[in-house]
Amino acid sequence: MLKIYNTGSNKKEKFVPMKKGKVGMYTCGMTVYDFAHIGHGRKYVGDDILRRILEWSGYDVKHVQNVTDVGHLSSDEDEGEDKMEKGAIKFGKTVWDVAEFFTDHFFTSMDALNIERPHIICKATDHIPEQIGLVQTLIKKGFAYDTPEAVYFDIDSFKAYGRLFRQKLDDKKTAVRAEVQTGEYKKNPHDFALWFKRVGHFSNHTMYWASPWGDGFPGWHIECSAMSMKYLGETFDIHTGGIDHIPVHHTNEIAQSEAATGKPLAHFWVHHAFLTVNGIKMAKSLGNFITIEEIIKKGYDPLELRFFYLSAHYRQQLNFTWEALDGAKAGYKNLCNLVQTIREKKQDAVIRSKISTHLSDLLTSVTQQFSDAVSDDMNMPKAMAVFFDFLKRVKTEKDLSARDYLAIYDEILRFDTVFGLRVNRPDLKTFEVPSDIQILANEREKARKSKKWAESDRLRDEITSRGFVVEDTANGSTIRPV
Ligand code: AMP
Ligand code: ZN
C-alpha cells in the first residue's frame, strides 16, 4: 500500500488514484532565465522517483511539467524585476533566446541525471489564450477585477484562500512596494496579479501579448492553473513542487483553479525540501549554485550525484559538499561493482531451470522490504539500505547456481527501475561487453547475414533480456549496455 505525505492534510495518506490504475501528476517546472543547477537536480530527481515508484506499483502515469518562459517577478510576490528580462540583460540575449537556451540547458541537465522526461512539457508562452480564458472566467465569476495596472485576483471573494496550507494571512508579506509601483490599485494587499499590463513599471516590457485588458503578460501562477487543467483536467491526483511553492505559488494556483471550477485542484500535494550549500538554499538568484557541467568537469558522473540525492529523504534538507559527493562516488562504485560480480556469475545461466528454494525465499523477503520502504512516503535511504543488504547477502551466500544469479540480477534491474542509477552500466566509456554477450551478438550477425530473420530477432531479444542493446548501422552492428 503506497503512502504519500500530503501537504494538504499534513499527514501521510494512503494513495488512492481518481481512476483505477491511472495517475495524473503535475510538476511545476523551472523559470528559464539562468542555468539549471544541482539544487534543481535534487528536486526533479525527487519527482522522478515518485513517478518511478508509481510506475513500479503498476500505475499508468501521465506526467505534465511546465516551463516558465514568461517573466514572473524576482520575488514570488508581485514585486521586483521580471526574471526573464533580468536574464536577457545578464546574458546579452533577447528574452526569447534566453528562454530557449535555458530550457534546453534544463532538460539536458535533467537527462544527465537519468530523469525520465515528462510525457507533456508545456511552455507558458504557448498557452497564452488558455490563460486569458481562465482570467476571463475568474472575472465573470466575480473572483477577479480589472485595474489600470493589472487584473487582480480578489482573495476576499475566495473564502478558502490559503486554507489548504493552513496559512495565516497576517503572517504574509504584502506585495505593495512603492518602488515598483504595483499594488496601488489592489483592494487587499494580498491580492495577486493574474495579468500585468504593459504600463508604468512594465511599459518597456519586451514579452507581451494582446488581451481584453490591453497588452501585457500573465502573472506567474495562472500558467500552472491553465495548463494543468488543459492536460490533466479540473482535478487530478498529484501536484508537486519545492517547499518554496507552498506559501505563494501553490496557494495562488489553488485559489485560481478552485474559484474557476468549484472543484479541488489536486488530491495530493507533494513538496520537496532544498539542497543547500552551507545551510543556505542553492539558488539562481543567490548565485551560489553548481551546474551539472561543473560536476562532470570535476570528474564526477551525474549518477554519483543522483546516488547522493538518494541518501536523504525528500522532505529533509540536504547539504551539498564535495566531500559528501566523494562519499557518494565511492558508494556508487561499490554498488556497481557488486552488481557487476553478479552479472559475471550469471553468464552461463540456463534460463528455464528453477531457482533454489533458499534464494526464492530471500527474493520474496527482499522484494517485500523494498516495497515497504518505497511505499512509505518514498523512503529511498531505507530502500537503498535494503538493496545493499541484499547484495551483501548474495555475496556471502553459498550454493547459488548461475540460474540463481540470473534471478538475482533480474531483481536488481527491477529495483533499479525505481532508483534509476543504471547500476548495470557503471561506466559506458570503459564498459566491456562480456564474452557471452559478444558470442550471442556474433551469432546474431551471422543469422542476419544469411537472412535468418526469426533467429536474428530471437538472439536480439536474448541480448536485450541480458541488459544490452544491439544497433544495426551501415558498418555492421554495435552493442552497448541498455
Ligand atoms: P525555480 O525556477 O528556480 O523556482 O525552480 C524550479 C523548482 O526547483 C522549484 O520547485 C524549486 O523549489 C526547485 N528548486 C530550486 N532550487 C532548489 C534547491 N536548491 N533545492 C531544491 N529544489 C530547488
Ligand atoms: Zn506551478
pLDDT at 365 over 70: yes
Nearest residue by C-alpha to atom 6 in ligand 1: 30
**Please, what is the angle between helix 322-345 and helix 380-396, to 10°?**
40
pLDDT for the residue 176: 42
Residues 6+ apart with CB under 8 A from 161: 155, 169, 190, 251, 255
- Provide the phi-psi class of 481: left if phi over 0, else alpha when psi is between -120 and 50, else beta: beta
Which class would CATH give 292-419? mainly alpha
Q: Indicate which ligand has the atom closest to the C-alpha of 281.
A: 1
Dist CA 472 CA 180 (whole Å):
60
**From the CA of 65, which ligand is nearest?**
2
Give the residue-averaged pLDDT of 337-362.
81
| Residue 478's pLDDT band (cuts 50, 70, 90) | confident
Residue to mutate (ligand 1; options 40, 44, 253, 313; most atoms within 8 A of CB):
40
Q: Which atom of ligand 1 has the smallest separation from the CA of 283?
A: 16
Q: Whose CA is closest to atom 12 on ligand 1? A: 242
- The two beta strands, 22-27 and 236-242, are parallel
Pick the more confident residue, 165 or 51.
Answer: 51
Domain ranges across the chain: 15-272, 292-419, 435-481
Q: Which CATH number fits domain 15-272: 3.40.50.2000, 3.40.30.10, 3.40.50.620, 2.60.40.1180?
A: 3.40.50.620
For residue 241, how far is its CA from the centre of ligand 2 (angstroms)? Answer: 7
Nearest atom, ligand 1, residue 243 CA:
12
- Rounded distance from Cα 225 to ligand 2 centre (Å): 8
Where do the DSSP E strands lie in 205-321?
A: 216-218, 236-242, 266-272, 275-277, 280-281, 318-319
Q: Which atom of ligand 1 is nearest to the CA of 28?
A: 10
Q: How far is the CA of 222 from the centre of ligand 2 (A)?
A: 8
Amino acid, res. 108: T
Q: Which atom of ligand 1 is nearest to the CA of 31?
A: 2
Distance CA 60, CA 81 (A): 41
Q: Whose CA is nearest to atom 10 of ligand 1?
A: 242
Residue pointed to by grid coordinates 539562468: 34
Q: What is the DSSP string of 224-253?
A: HHHHHHHHH-SSEEEEEEEGGGIIIIIHHH
Compute, in angstroms, the gap from residue 423 CA to the centroid of ligand 1.
Answer: 27
CB 116 within 8 A of CB 60: no
Amino acid present at 36 = A
Does the structure show a pLDDT above 90 at 345? Answer: no
Instruction: Yes or no: say if 30 and 68 are a contact pair by the CB < 8 Å rule.
Output: yes
The rounded distance, in Å, linking the Cα atoms of 248 and 221 is 9
The pLDDT score that the predictor gives to residue 284 is 81
Say which residue the cell 530527481 belongs to. Answer: 45
Q: What is the pLDDT of residue 431?
A: 47
- What residues contact residue 257 under an 8 Å CB cut-off, 6+ apart? 225, 228, 229, 234, 265
Protein residues with CB under 6 Å of any ligand 1 atom: 28, 30-31, 39-40, 42-43, 241-242, 244-245, 272, 274-275, 281-284
How deeply is 359 buried, as exposed, middle or buried, from its count of CB atoms within 10 A (0-12, 13-18, 19+)? Answer: buried
Dist CA 232 CA 475 (whole Å): 45
SS3 state of residue 271 = strand
Strand partners, 185: none
Q: Can you tell me which atom of ligand 1 is nearest the CA of 32? A: 2
β-bridge mates for residue 196, sequence order: 150, 217
Q: Which of 55, 74, 477 is nearest to 284 (CA)?
A: 74
Give, using CA atoms, the residue closest to atom 11 of ligand 1: 242
Q: Give the count of beta carbons closer than 10 Å to the beta carbon of residue 227.
A: 25
Inter-residue contact 307 to 328 (CB < 8 Å): yes
**Distance from the first to the final alpha carbon of the chain:** 30
Q: Report whether pLDDT(180) > 50.
A: no
Residue in 244, 248, 288 to alter for ligand 1 test, most ligand atoms within 8 A of Cβ: 244
Q: Which of 95-104, 125-134, 304-313 has the lowest mean pLDDT?
A: 95-104
Q: Quick one: pLDDT at residue 343?
A: 86
Res 76 pLDDT > 80: no
Lowest model confidence (mean pLDDT) among 5-14, 236-245, 431-440:
431-440
Whose C-alpha lies nearest to ligand 1, atom 5?
30
The span from the CA of 380 to the CA of 54, in Å, is 14
Q: What's the whole-number mean pLDDT along residues 90-104?
A: 89
Cell 570535476, located at residue: 298
User: 308's torsion region: left (phi>0), alpha (psi -120 to 50) or beta?
Assistant: alpha
Instruction: Report the share of the chain in percent with pLDDT over 90.
Output: 67
Q: pLDDT tens, 117-176?
A: 999 999 999 999 999 999 999 999 999 999 999 999 999 999 999 999 988 877 765 544
Atom of ligand 1 at shortest range from CA of 30: 2
- Order of all β-strands in the sheet with 120-123: 120-123, 60-67, 22-27, 236-242, 266-272
For residue 110, give the nearest of 50, 33, 29 by alpha carbon. 29
Please give the distance, rounded to the nearest whole angstrom, from the Cα atom of residue 224 to the centre of ligand 2: 5
Cβ-Cβ contacts under 8 Å for 220 (sequence gap 6 or more): 68, 72, 73, 76, 249
pTM: 0.86
Atom of ligand 1 nearest to the CA of 42: 21
Question: Which of the pair, 39 or 170, is modelled with greater confidence?
Answer: 39
pLDDT, residue 458, reads 87
Residues by chain with Cβ below 5 Å of ion ligand 2: 28, 224
Query: Measured in whole angstroms, how far is the alpha carbon of residue 270 from the centre of its chain?
Result: 12
The span from the CA of 126 to the CA of 128, in Å, is 6
* Residue pair 237/228 in contact by the 8 Å Cβ criterion: no
Residue 21 · residue 285 · CB < 8 Å: no
To test the pocket of ligand 1, the residue of 7, 30, 220, 291 to mutate (highest count of ligand atoms within 8 Å of its CB) is: 30
